[in-house]
C-alpha cells in the first residue's frame, strides 16, 4: 500500500416527496406528479454523489460544507458536486468511476437513465463509460413504494 492507492467512497441520500410537477435527479428534470421536499433544489442523486466523492478522500460530508443556512437555500446541487470534485482534484486525485442506484416508485426512469448518465459524466468531466446508473422500484412496499420518498446510493472510486 502506498498513499497512491485507489480510494472508494459511498454516499446515500433520501428526500420526502410531496405533490408537485417533477423532481431533479443527477441534474436532469424528471416531470412527474411529485417534487422533493428539500432545503436545496432537492437533487437526491447529486447529494449522494457529492458525499461519495468526499467520502473517498475522507473529507466529511455536504452537511459540513454547505450547512442548511439561508444563503444555501435553493442552492443548485451541482455546486455541492463541483466543490467535492474540487477537493478531489486538490488532493491530487481524479474520479475513476461512479456507480449509482436510484430508488423511486414512479415515474419509471428508463427513458431518463441515459440523460442522467450523460449529465453526471459531464459534471464530473469523465467519459460516460465511467458512469453507471441503475433505477429500481420498491415493488410497492415501504416509503419508496408508497411514493413518499426517493432514495439514491452512489459508490465512487477515486484514483
- Residue numbers of the site for Mg ion (CB under 5 A)? 13, 47
Cβ-based nearer residue to Mg ion, 42 or 147: 42
CB of 150 to Mg ion, least distance (A): 10
Q: Which residue's CB atom is positioned nearest to Mg ion?
A: 47
Measured at the CA of 99, the angle between CA 65 and CA 107, to 5 degrees, comes to: 95
Q: Facing residues of 22 across strands?
A: 31
Three-class SS state of 112: helix
Cell numbers for 1: 500500500
CB of 27 to Mg ion, least distance (A): 14
CB of 133 to Mg ion, least distance (A): 18
Measured CA to CA, the distance from residue 55 to residue 79 in angstroms comes to 17
With beta carbons less than 8 A apart as the criterion, state whether 39 and 47 touch: no
Cβ-based nearer residue to Mg ion, 35 or 128: 35
With beta carbons less than 8 A apart as the criterion, state whether 151 and 36 touch: no
Q: What are phi and psi of 15, to 5 degrees?
A: -135, 145
Cβ-based nearer residue to Mg ion, 75 or 130: 75
CB of 38 to Mg ion, least distance (A): 6
Cβ-based nearer residue to Mg ion, 13 or 105: 13
Amino acid at each position: 500500500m502506498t498513499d497512491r492507492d485507489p480510494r472508494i467512497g459511498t454516499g446515500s441520500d433520501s428526500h420526502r416527496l410531496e405533490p408537485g410537477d417533477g423532481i431533479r435527479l443527477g441534474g436532469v428534470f424528471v416531470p412527474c406528479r411529485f417534487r422533493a421536499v428539500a432545503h436545496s433544489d432537492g437533487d437526491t442523486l447529486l447529494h449522494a454523489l457529492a458525499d461519495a466523492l468526499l467520502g473517498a478522500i475522507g473529507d466529511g460530508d455536504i452537511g459540513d460544507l454547505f450547512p442548511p443556512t439561508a444563503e444555501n437555500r435553493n442552492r443548485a446541487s451541482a455546486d455541492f458536486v463541483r466543490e467535492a470534485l474540487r477537493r478531489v482534484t486538490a488532493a491530487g486525485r481524479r474520479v475513476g468511476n461512479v456507480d449509482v442506484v436510484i430508488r423511486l416508485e414512479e415515474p419509471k426512469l428508463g427513458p431518463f437513465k441515459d440523460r442522467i448518465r450523460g449529465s453526471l459524466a459531464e459534471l464530473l468531466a469523465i467519459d460516460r463509460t465511467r458512469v453507471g446508473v441503475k433505477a429500481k422500484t420498491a415493488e410497492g412496499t415501504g416509503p419508496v413504494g408508497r411514493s413518499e420518498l426517493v432514495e439514491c446510493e452512489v459508490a465512487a472510486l477515486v484514483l
